[in-house]
Chains A and B, each alone.
Chain A
């Protein structure tokens, strides 16, 4: 999937991937796509929950073993 930026949150655990995601999204422009890499199991539910709460669009997810990839389209 096409992306404008990547945030590598691998190795970080709840709540840090979400905290960093919120910060990073603020730096991006509306319509840009952020790729978030995470391996915290909690992120699987937390990232979609964060997106629906904040109105940012979860444009796609991918799983490669333990690695989770989220594509977030900035509101």
Chain B
């Protein structure tokens, strides 16, 4: 059976947004099955257009940071997520926090699935690696 990587993302800042994409695409490139579950402030990253900012005062430098990342071949958040999906990475929105954060089903990027905690735990139960990003 293929390896399996599961991640939970609970924050929506720039750093927390990119980490699961970097880990996820790398794992997918190795033939690993990848599942990323977004909850609380992470849920907003699954909206059709998501422009995460660096945390706290650093948010002012987000543009400069994005430019630097582009220079080394790392695409914008939304492009990167699309690329990850094309590589087979699965993205899930947590049902409960969608309500809390005011994210509607029609707001989600195409390809994002909606999942409850129990179903995610079932996916994670036999994962080789589980990471919490928050």
Contacts and interface: CB of A to CB of B under 8 A. Distances in A.
Interface of A: 9, 11-16, 18-19, 21-23, 40, 50, 53-54
B72 A19 contact: no
B99 interface: no
B31 A19 contact: no
Contacts of B72: 11-13, 16, 40
Would you call the interface of chain B mostly helix, strand, loop, or mixed?
helix
Contacts of A15: 22-23, 25-26, 29
B119 interface: no
Contacts, number: 40
Task: For chain B, give the interface size range.
Answer: 10 to 19
A4 B31 CA distance: 23
Contact of B73 (A16, A21, A50): A16
Contacts of A54: 30-31
Nearest to B75: A16
A14 B29 CA distance: 12
